[in-house]
Structure 1
Amino acid sequence: MTQGNATVPLAVAVVGSGPSGFYAAASLLDQNDVPVRVDMYERLATPWGLVRSGVAPDHPKIKAVSGVYAAIAAHENFRFFGNVDIGKDVTREELTERYDAVLYAVGAQTDRRLGIPGEDLPGSESAVDFVGWYNGHPDYAHLNFDLSGERGVVIGAGNVALDVARILCSPHERLARTDIADHALEALRHCALKEVMVVGRRGAAQAAFTTAELKELPEYTESGVDIDPAEVAEQPGEEALSRLVKRNLTVMRDYAHNPLPAGARRVALRFQRTPLEIRGDGRVEEIVFGLNALKTDEDGWVSAVDTGERETVATSLVLRAVGYKGRSIPGLPFDDRRGVIPNVNGRVDGVEREYVAGWIKRGPTGIIGTNKKCASETVGRLLADIADGSVRRHDRTAATDPIAEIDTWLRGRQPHLVTEAGWRLIDAAERSSGEPAGRPRVKLVLTEELLDVALERRIA
């Protein structure tokens, strides 16, 4: 077998249409060493991954990166195939038989659990589900969250926890100017919560918040931020902390010493607490925390140590935001502890012509832009493998190239295939619906509605 025909472009399938998938496509299409065709596969009818369904609706500047992805999708050697479930509509093996390489950029689709008694009580929910719900992800649009109590508790000390708290405490009129899903907007209109408590296991200095997210809390929510001054008190060795941590501590200390506005909802930041048990008669009524001391080892790592003291907090809603976790792909190796597919610079261990990028490659770390470097590394590995013969291209000519007929083949497997043209119809319809209310878009959240528009089968 030869290394393919030089007149036939390298054919790469990218599975997943979030940031890492689009950055991988861009790296492939922008290089000049070898001509490439990229076909992007997406389980949903819509692209953009967490930019559409994970970024908070009140962060339009972050969502604006979708314009970069739209430009990538306009490349003549790029195709989008939405509403295709790999493993159901099409198998892995069928992709590797047709494409010279398959790159998985499927993200981290599940959440990490607390592993404590009572976690499965009604009212104990995943922040991943909650974020998907308010962002209009079709998998979560049907969910209901009980917002009728006075206090909600969010477990986690990262930006997702702050996003959740901020959305729960935001004034309705502010959310009504965003692309938040209509069902969530209506539910949050009737939210009775007076306090949302965000709880971290270690100290304030170990929280993974960004300074911008911390500063947004009172600005975006018109709420007070309640912090115990003792939990952000100055500690020995602070001069060695990073600039980010120092900025965060400055912001939190300002909150701790400012009076709370009367009558407003409040976000309470609490640290050095480990959830031990969720209690309730048929649903969540309270959560028990173990209070922690902090211990620094010889390498400088700070860990939480149980003091034996306990604290019980009344609540009707617990949202866990302790991290995302990847999901295994049948037939590929998987590190269940880390929630990633084992790889070397993006090349999947022990298999040929399959690669990974983004969170499924490295774990749920970094910001959207981090995926650009990550994807570039993977594409570099892929192209090097092709160049040195580690991965042999399929032997084909322009006359025998199955990629040319991939559209027809896919429609035989998935009659409701959504192409880039179909997505543009969805995009235009959502934007048009949002215009009268001054919103960026009104999202279609049900798969059938999305397909009606994409396939132009809606009846007037």
Structure 2
Amino acid sequence: MYSPFKMWNGTIRSAKKYACLRTTIRFSSVAKHKVCIVGSGPAGFYTAQHLIKNEPNLEIDMFEKLPVPFGLVRYGVAPDHADVKNVINTFTSIAKSGRLQFIGNVTIGKDVTLNDLRTAYDVVVLAYGAAQDRWLGIPGENFENVVSARKFVGWYNGLPEESNLQLNLNVEKAVIIGQGNVALDIARILLTPIEILKKTDIAQHALQALKESKIRNVKLVGRRGPLQVAFTIKELREMIKLPEVSNRIHLEDRDYIEACIPKTPRPRRRITELMLQSADTKQADVKDSSKQWELIFHRTPLEIVKSENQRSVKALVVGINRLKEDNWENPQIEDTGLRETIPCGMIIKSIGYKSLPLSDELPFDHIKGVIRQKEGRVEGMPGVFCSGWVASGPVGVIASTLQSGHDVGKRILDDLRKGICATSTVKPGRDVILSQLATRGVEPVTFVEWETLDNEERERGKNQKKPREKIIDVREMIDIAKKVQS
């Protein structure tokens, strides 16, 4: 069934309209407690899913900075992974259940403060992910054409803030620092034939740039060895099967690797065996026009070198290391003193993300980039919880986020039933927040309005023979969304 937010129609421009809105957005029964979730990605939706399933008498609002929902699923999952994006169907069902209200285009910390939310709701769940880059801390990191994986992924996925990212793909060699799933995603997007990419929901500006790209060789450089790679076997298989692309996996100590295989868990064993098998496979002669990707291990980035004209990247200098201890799971790295220069015209840093605090009052570990918490409960703030990457750091995949979201949901319900995070005072919930937004001139977007935007993107995609053509301008998003009819 559709959300009661169907009543929220057109652009709301005055406090009077908000007052009318507050009288029309009501549940059929009075909710005992009011919950708000900050962030509409997997962590937010899976936390909401558990709450809705296990407590029928909650009023739940979900706030999102952008006018569109789904967070990492929309802007982080690679465009050629349509099967992974199918989880949007589950999230849509949750949003249209009548139990949760999506309130987009609201930036917590700017339009509304954390203290505002704590005053208005019994429970505040912070699930806004990780949106800041980690740094290598080496010379040359600020050079042109040295970009973070977060920015690059946002660029090809149509994230508004990265749509104008300046990139030079008119180079033959690129280096990706990191060997996780995101690193392989980026390498795959750089090397996949355009005939395949153009059938996905990749942003049009990225598709055009990749069509004109001169990149033919992508090296994925990691500090540790093949037994410590962070990607999954699915991602590796996709890379190995890329059409019109050869591969080279640099294995420097095969005897040691083969000796360790029997000691490793099955998932790790399968990945390692596939790398060994691929390294042994004789590939056809690589022609000048062919594309190739490489896995290079035991290399620590030390310096990025500029070209002679000082306008582009020339190379990455790395230190060759070795694993100090006979411990394949978490080995110590030792510098051998040897150095190597890897020529390249572009460098992408895929070394992880970290979160930012929404307010100074939030207990935050600035080194790790996470909220200080225990089992999802934010330290020293009863009634405030955190879920997903803002709590754990950028680890795991969407499936693992499901379990952590459900775990946080369980603890929220436990604390509500014990009276730990609710008082006898009835909280005003969204009523007071909507009034504040009206006063501050903010135009919230409802889920029904998002569906109008969703339909427009799908229609534009049909013209390109794509699943959708993402709109990348926030103002245009809002204008289209507000065309919804009652």
1:358-373 equivalent positions in 2, closer than 5 A:
358-373=388-403
What does 1:60-459 align with in structure 2 at a 5 Å threshold?
Answer: 60-230=82-252, 234-257=257-280, 258-260=282-284, 261-262=286-287, 263-280=289-306, 281-296=310-325, 301-330=330-359, 331-393=361-423, 395-396=425-426, 401-404=428-431, 406-456=433-483
Question: How far apart in 2 are the matches of 1:110 and 1:248?
Answer: 30
Given the alignment of the two structures, is residue 13 of structure 1 paired with residue 13 of structure 2, yes or no? no
Q: Contact between 2:37 and 2:44, CA under 8 Å: does it hold in 1?
A: yes
8 Å CA contact 1:275–1:288 kept in 2: the answer is yes
Whether the 8 Å CA contact 1:294–1:304 is kept in 2: the answer is: yes
Is the Cα contact below 8 Å between 2:34 and 2:121 reproduced in 1? yes
Once residues 383 and 348 of structure 1 are traced to their aligned partners in structure 2, the CA distance between those partners, rounded to angstroms, is 15
Report the aligned-residue RMSD. 1.9
Deviations 1:343-400 (A, max 9, x none): 111110011221100011111111101111111221222222221122223523xxx8
State the 1:129 CA deviation: 0.3
Change (3 A) 1:431 1:394: farther
Q: Distance in 2 between matches of 1:418 and 1:300?
A: 47
Question: Which whole-Å CA distance do the structure 1 matches of 2:94 and 2:398 have between them?
Answer: 16
Contact 1:418 1:454 in 2 (8 A): yes
The answer as to whether partners of 1:203 and 1:231 remain within 8 angstroms in 2 is: no
Higher deviation after alignment, 258-267 or 140-149 = 258-267
Per-residue deviation, 1:401: 4.2
Structure-2 separation of matches of 1:426 and 1:382: 33
Matched position secondary structure for 2:278: helix
Distance 1:165 1:336, change over 3 A: same
Residue by residue over 1:421-458, the C-alpha shift from the partner in whole angstroms, topping out at 9 and shown as x without a partner, is 1110111111111123331111101112211211129x
**What is the CA–CA distance in structure 2 between the aligned matches of 1:394 and 1:73, rounded to whole Å?**
29
Secondary structure at the residue paired with 1:435?
helix
Q: In 2, are the aligned partners of 1:100 and 1:394 still within 8 Å (CA)?
A: no
Shift of 1:169: 0.5
1:26–1:300 distance in 2 versus 1, CA, 3 Å = closer
Q: Describe the SS at the equivalent of 1:89.
A: coil
What whole-Å deviation, never above 9, does each CA across 1:210-262 have from its counterpart, x for those lacking one?
Answer: 11100101424531111234355544332101212221122222322222543
Q: Is the 8 A contact 1:411 1:417 kept in 2?
A: no
Using the TM superposition, give the Cα deviation of residue 165 of structure 1 relative to its aligned residue in structure 2, in angstroms.
0.5
Name the SS of the counterpart of 1:238 in structure 2: helix
Gaps of 5+ in 2: 1-28
Contact in 2 for aligned 1:232/1:249 (Cα 8 Å) = no
Structure 1 residues 387 and 429: CA distance shift in structure 2, 3 A? same
Paired amino acid for 2:369: G
Is the alpha carbon distance of 1:45 and 1:259 closer, same or farther for their aligned partners in structure 2, counting shifts above 3 Å? same
Greater CA drift, 322-331 or 58-67: 322-331
Question: Alpha-carbon deviation of 1:409?
Answer: 4.5
* Structure 1 gap segments, 5+ residues each: 1-5
Contact 1:89 1:414 in 2 (8 A): no
1:48 corresponds to 2:70: yes
- Please report how far the alpha carbon of residue 124 of structure 1 lies from its aligned counterpart in structure 2 after TM superposition: 1.1
Q: Which amino acid aligns with 1:340?
A: V
Q: Deviations over 1:155-201 (max 9, x none)?
A: 00101100010000111111100000000000001110110100111
Larger displacement relative to structure 2 (262-271 or 173-182)? 262-271
TM-score by length of 2: 0.88
Task: Measure the CA separation in 2 of the matches of 1:394 and 1:429.
Answer: 45
The CA deviation at 1:284 is 1.4
Q: Distance in 1 between matches of 2:30 and 2:156?
A: 48
Tell me by how many angstroms 1:283 deviates. 2.9
> Do the aligned partners of residues 415 and 394 (structure 1) sit closer, same or farther apart at CA in structure 2, a change above 3 Å counting?
farther
TM-score normalized by the length of structure 1: 0.93
